[in-house]
């Protein structure tokens, strides 16, 4: 018999759903990932569902890559209302759904699936999750010059959202410049013009420094500085961080990265990634339930669920 007083069981108990809350009418939401144990989406969504008293539960599903198609196709049969997709499924899942929004097709990845009448309707809410906190902070990307560091999956959502919002120039700096060039080509191919995204090598401090000097927003989308490597900082020319610039680091653990601390010390405004996580989740929540959730409840759940940095 297992030891119910072990640290693992005590930790599980602290997070446990109260089984009495689940009944025959309970509807199911969830997240597919591999691994999925690190996800804070269950805490974030369940906190909002509980606050609103909605008859849903949000559960993690560890879905290995070979089982992704079968898992997605099972959603209608199981009556599951919708799921989020996280690492490593976001790109491949796009090819396995019945419909996807224009933004999801542009980005080439999905993070949300909604089952409607037996069909799988997909969206990518990361771009809205990224941009809503910026708007709340009073930043309008229209005609602005923006520096984006990194060219991975998160950068794709950011760059396409900035393009949709009418940004004037997007300087895209990555260690592997080919990846930045490939993303720039996708933006051109999507019809946003061939001069909008300007690829740079991250190590080209002169070019990156002058792009930063002419921009009031820097978005950090790389893994440098993410827990457990919180001591890392992306190699950018620190002297080009200037007062009047907003430095937005998409990392949400730790809540304040080394880059944010450096930028703050140079007079920049700073923003971390927790709000993006909350707003991408809120957009999915609204799609599934028809109700905009209490985002402050979701943010509090995220902050209290993250492991200490």
Kindly tell me which residue out of 27, 179, 242, 258 binds ligand NAP, with binding defined by CB under 6 A: 179
Instruction: Give the interface size with ligand NAP as a residue count (CB under 6 A).
Output: 26
Give yes or no for residue 129 binding ligand NAP (CB under 6 A). yes
- Active-site residue, 90 included: yes
Kindly tell me which residue out of 150, 199, 254, 293 binds ligand NAP, with binding defined by CB under 6 A: 150
* CA distance linking residue 309 with residue 133, whole number of Å: 23
Number of H helices, E strands in the chain: 12, 12
Give yes or no for residue 273 binding ligand NAP (CB under 6 A). yes
* Distance in Å, CB of 144 to ligand NAP, minimum: 21
235-264 residues near ligand NAP, rule: CB under 6 A: 250-252
* CA distance linking residue 209 with residue 107, whole number of Å: 27
Tell me how crowded residue 59 is: count the other CB atoms within 10 A of its CB.
16
Structure tokens at 4: 């119910």
Which of 211, 251 has the CB closer to ligand NAP?
Answer: 251
3-state secondary structure of 62: strand
* Distance in Å, CB of 235 to ligand NAP, minimum: 7
* Distance in Å, CB of 193 to ligand NAP, minimum: 23
Give yes or no for residue 29 binding ligand NAP (CB under 6 A). no
Tell me how crowded residue 283 is: count the other CB atoms within 10 A of its CB.
21
Give yes or no for residue 184 binding ligand NAP (CB under 6 A). no
* CA distance linking residue 51 with residue 53, whole number of Å: 6
* CA distance linking residue 199 with residue 144, whole number of Å: 17
Nearest to 250 by CA among 283, 276, 280, 218: 276
Give yes or no for residue 151 binding ligand NAP (CB under 6 A). yes
Residue sitting closest to ligand NAP (CB): 152
Give yes or no for residue 148 binding ligand NAP (CB under 6 A). no
Give yes or no for residue 93 binding ligand NAP (CB under 6 A). no
Which of 248, 288 has the CB closer to ligand NAP?
Answer: 248
Alpha-helix residue ranges (DSSP H) falling in the chain:
7-15, 41-52, 68-78, 90-94, 102-107, 126-136, 153-164, 177-187, 205-213, 258-265, 274-289, 295-305
Which of 97, 284 has the CB closer to ligand NAP?
Answer: 284
211-240 residues near ligand NAP, rule: CB under 6 A: 221-224, 226, 232, 234
Residue 9, CB-side half-sphere exposure with 13 Å CA sphere: 6
Give yes or no for residue 131 binding ligand NAP (CB under 6 A). no
* Distance in Å, CB of 97 to ligand NAP, minimum: 20
User: Exactly one of 90, 128, 161, 275 is catalytic; which is it?
Assistant: 90
Which of 36, 115 has the CB closer to ligand NAP?
Answer: 36
Distances (CA, A) of 164 to 111, 126, 161, 193, 262: 19, 13, 5, 12, 30
Query: CA quadruple 134, 223, 186, 173: dihedral positive or negative?
Result: positive
Binding site for ligand NAP (CB under 6 A): 126, 129, 150-155, 174-176, 179, 221-224, 226, 232, 234, 250-252, 273, 276-277, 280
Active site residues: 90
């Amino acid at each position: 018999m297992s030891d119910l007083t072990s640290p693992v069981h005590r930790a599980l108990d602290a997070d446990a759903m109260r089984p009495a809350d689940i009944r025959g009418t309970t509807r199911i939401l969830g997240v597919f990932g591999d691994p999925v144990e690190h996800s804070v989406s269950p805490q974030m969504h369940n906190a909002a569902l509980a606050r609103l008293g909605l008859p849903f539960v949000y559960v993690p599903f560890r879905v290995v890559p070979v089982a992704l198609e079968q898992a997605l196709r099972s959603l209608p049969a199981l009556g599951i209302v919708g799921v989020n997709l996280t690492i490593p499924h976001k790109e491949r899942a796009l090819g396995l759904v019945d419909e996807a929004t224009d933004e999801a097709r542009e980005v080439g990845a999905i993070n949300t699936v909604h089952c409607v009448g037996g069909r799988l309707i997909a969206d990518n809410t990361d771009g809205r999750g990224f941009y809503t906190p910026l708007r709340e902070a009073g930043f309008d990307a229209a005609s602005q010059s923006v520096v984006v560091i990194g060219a991975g999956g998160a950068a794709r959502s950011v760059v396409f959202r900035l393009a949709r919002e009418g940004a004037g120039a997007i300087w895209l700096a990555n260690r592997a410049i080919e990846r930045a060039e490939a993303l720039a080509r996708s933006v051109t191919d999507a019809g946003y013009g061939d001069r909008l995204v300007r690829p740079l090598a991250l190590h080209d401090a002169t070019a990156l420094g002058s792009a930063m000097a002419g921009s009031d927003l820097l978005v950090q989308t790389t893994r440098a500085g993410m827990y457990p490597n919180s001591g890392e900082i992306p190699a950018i020319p620190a002297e080009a961080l200037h007062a009047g610039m907003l430095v937005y680091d998409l990392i949400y653990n730790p809540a304040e990265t080394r880059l944010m601390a450096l930028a703050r010390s140079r007079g920049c405004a700073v923003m971390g990634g927790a709000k993006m996580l909350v707003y991408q989740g809120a957009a999915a929540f609204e799609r599934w339930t028809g109700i905009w959730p209490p985002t402050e409840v979701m943010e509090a759940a995220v902050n209290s669920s993250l492991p200490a940095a």
